[in-house]
Amino acid sequence: MAAPVLTEDYVEALTRRVDALEKKLLSQDGALPVIPLTTAVRELGRKLDTLAGREKGEESLKMTEGAKVELLCGEVEQLRKFTDRMEEVHQLKDYINSTECQGLETHEKKLATVSATHLEQEARVAELTQQTHTLMDGYRRVMLQLSAQCVQWDEALGERETAKT
């Protein structure tokens, strides 16, 4: 199937269809003014943020039932996932609240201290490793110089012995 050509008439037809859908979703027989969907979504977000800190029912959303249903239908999958996770947490409640897990707060503080100490020790180990490599490199250079000096002395003694004979 070929893609439609984006002519001016086609774009106008699409615009009319979108306007009609927005009117159908956001108003009930013209009772509420027609507002763009993006504006309605932003307004809904602001109102939900406002409601998050207040008790239920303190402020009502000014949306038609159809718009509310459409909003909920769009979030059905996320609500199902959230419900599944909550059920899983409820099933694992006995394991979560077990006696082994009761002292986790005190263990967390101890582990934080141990972790900090471990990080300090790792830094110290890295520093000591670097110092060891530096010392080993210095030792290697000294040994090479001593070896070279011994070779020179051996050659000098060898020359003197051959000169005496």
Give the distance, in angstroms, between the CA of residue 149 and the centroid of all CA atoms in the same chain: 61
Q: 103 in a domain, yes or no?
A: no
pLDDT tens per residue, range 16-56: 877 777 676 666 555 555 566 667 677 777 777 776 665 45
User: Other CB atoms closer than 10 Å to residue 37's CB: what's the count?
Assistant: 14
Closest Cα to residue 26, out of 62, 60, 64? 64
Residues 89, 127, single domain; the answer is no
pLDDT in the model for residue 109: 84
Per-residue pLDDT tens for 58-112? 445 577 777 777 777 778 788 888 888 888 888 878 777 777 777 777 778 888 8
Residues 79 and 26 in one domain: yes
Task: Give the end of a domain, one of 46, 63, 98.
Answer: 98
Domain that holds residue 156: 119-165
Count of the separate structural domains present in the chain: 2
Q: Answer yes or no: is 159 within a domain.
A: yes
Phi, psi of 6, rounded to the nearest 5 degrees = -85, 75
56 and 131, same domain (yes or no) = no
In a domain, 29, yes or no: yes
CA distances for 65 relative to 24, 25, 34, 41, angstroms: 11, 9, 15, 15
Q: Are residues 51 and 88 in the same domain?
A: yes
In a domain, 69, yes or no: yes
Q: What count of Cα atoms within 13 Å lies in the side-chain half-sphere of residue 100?
A: 4
Within this chain, do residues 65 and 25 fall inside the same structural domain, yes or no?
yes
